Structure 1
Amino acid sequence: MIAYRAMVDVPREVVQYLARLLAAERRARGTRSGTRALTCFYQALLVLVWFRKGEDATLLGAGFGVSRATAYRYLAEGVTVLAEQAQDLHTPLRRVADDGWSYVILDGKLFDCDRLTETTLNVKQETIDAWYSGKHRDFGANIQAVMRPDGLPVWTSDAMPGHLHDLTCARQQGVTAALHWSAAELDLPALADSGYEGAGHGIKTPVKQPADGHRLDVDNRAFNRLLRGLRWQGERGFAILIGRWKALRHTTASPRRIGGIVAAALHLTHFEYKYLPGTC
């Protein structure tokens, strides 16, 4: 292999913050000083290089002077300590309301992963690929997210198999129940696309075209236009995450781990946006 100099465009404060989380994890595990191949700082740097650039773990490990197995172990540990900072959905909803926002955006996305052999039964009792989305014609994990009106994502869900519908995932993850609560208790409704039709109280979706081919009533057309005008910027949330953290664009890890990887990327994003708990 040939070594070369490289740089990663993340603030040093992010590396130091992650290093402190890793140091706390080592203390909790009882890791003795001097027994690790990398210090907490360089382990944090390794993790952030992977998130930012999506580097191959073997080459990344070689660049830091550790084996492929050690690189994977360090990456998994970094993802875990970041994902553990995630909060229950009710907490970020309260914060959005306290910050003066009048609504949130609900959206779902398929995060691309390698082809899998896991199968399941569909509603017709036919065997299908569990992680294949017929809508997107790709394999991946369905992740639900709640965004502020300006597009900043405030919460992401665990991974669900890609064959499931957005509304099914939102219900099984308890997202719809939390949004019903926020609409009723915080006066904070959620805006969503037509994939969430029938989600219930407080989750606003577009009015669909009549099945008989007639044009929508003018009031319904105005409602749909207003909804699109309010929702479009909030749907930038996934673009913020994927644009900043290249590792989210495709994963070779188990798709069940994608939820933790996205939650870790969300926490890094909150640090950079100064949106961690207790910050302004």
Structure 2
Amino acid sequence: MLALVHLRKNETIPARAAGFGVSTATAWRYVDETLDVLAAWAPALQEALVGLGKGDFVIVDGTLIATDRVHADEPFQVIARPDGTPLTAARAHGIIQACLTRQILVLADRAYQRAGATVRIPYKNHREQPARYQEFNRDHARLRAPGERAFAQLKSWRLLRRARCSTPRIGTIVQAIHTLMTCDHSG
């Protein structure tokens, strides 16, 4: 519970320790151990793409996760199914290439311009844009909308708005949050 509150509220560990009636060292240990266990359950990129191949598509979006470290904001990407279910959240390494290898179509925003043969981005807005380009952009936005919601859910965890940790630890935090977002609540 302490780790969950830490992720949701982004309060300092000493404040959380006092709230739970434990020492700061114990609170750090509980949070670190819990995050490590949750992160271990998150799928790696190749695992997340299992079962997807030619004819399938995913939605990719990225962001910088702000940290309190100087010049150390970390780039992360979220990959979601067409229905918006997050598949994985990872640092921006190898995602486009993995989808290209499997011939998975990637719907992305304009930041992914010239990213690869299987990446589709909207057309640039020009005043004299043909109607078919405008229609493509509307369809593209409609298909990407569920992925945008998945990304917004990830950013709803306050810890990811401004992390107070080392940049390597952010990867563990993102994976732990992914596990919490996608765990099966039926059992």
Distance 2:155 2:110 in 1: 23
Paired residues for 1:1-280 under 5 Å: 45-95=1-51, 97=52, 102-116=56-70, 129=71, 131=72, 140-158=73-91, 169=92, 173-182=93-102, 184=103, 188-209=104-125, 215-243=128-156, 245-272=157-184
For residues 63 and 233 of structure 1, the distance between their equivalents in structure 2, rounded to whole angstroms, comes to 37
CA-to-aligned-CA distance 1:9-33 (integer Å, 9 cap, x gap): xxxxxxxxxxxxxxxxxxxxxxxxx
Q: Deviations over 1:233-264 (max 9, x none)?
A: 22111211232x33322211112211210110
- Give the structure with higher Rg (CA): 1
In 1, the alpha carbon distance for the partners of 2:165 and 2:25 equals 14
* Contact 1:104/1:146, CA 8 A, preserved across alignment: yes
Q: How far apart, in 1, do the equivalents of 2:21 and 2:80 lie? A: 39
Closer, same or farther in 2 for the Cα pair 1:193/1:91, shift >3 Å? same
Q: What SS does the aligned partner of 2:115 have?
A: coil
Separation in 1, partners of 2:4, 2:45: 25
Following superposition, the deviation at residue 176 of structure 1 comes to 0.8
1:164-223 deviation line (CA, Å, top 9, x unaligned): xxxxx4xxx1111111123x2xxx41100010011112111112246xxx6233332222
Alignment partner of 2:41: what SS?
A: coil
Residue 273 (structure 1) shift:
5.5
Report if the CA contact (8 A) 1:112-1:141 is conserved: yes
Aligned-pair identity (%): 37
Quick check: 1:152–1:236 contact (8 Å CA) kept in 2? no
TM-score by length of 2: 0.86
Take 1:273 and 1:53, find their aligned partners in 2: how far apart are those partners?
22
For the residues of structure 2 that align with 1:72 and 1:148, how far apart are their CA atoms? Answer: 34
Contact 2:69 2:166 in 1 (8 A): no
Question: Residues of 2 paired with 1:273 and 1:54: CA distance?
Answer: 24
Distance 2:65 2:184 in 1: 22
Where does structure 1 lack aligned partners over 5 or more consecutive residues? 1-44, 117-128, 132-139, 159-168
Q: Can you give the 5+ residue segments of structure 2 that lack an aligned partner in the other structure?
A: none
- The answer to whether the 8 Å contact 2:35/2:173 transfers is yes
Residue equivalent to 1:20: none
RMSD of equivalent CA atoms: 2.4
1:59/1:209 Cα in 2 relative to 1: closer, same or farther (>3 Å)? Answer: closer
Q: What's 1:6 paired with?
A: none
Q: Is the 8 Å Cα contact of residues 152 and 240 (structure 1) preserved in structure 2?
A: no
Aligned-pair CA distance for 1:102 = 4.0
Q: Distance in 2 between matches of 1:157 and 1:92?
A: 11
CA distance in 1, matches of 2:183, 2:131: 44
Distance 1:273 1:179 in 2: 29
CA distance 1:48–1:209, change in 2 (3 Å): closer
8 Å contact from structure 1 (residues 113, 251) kept in 2: yes
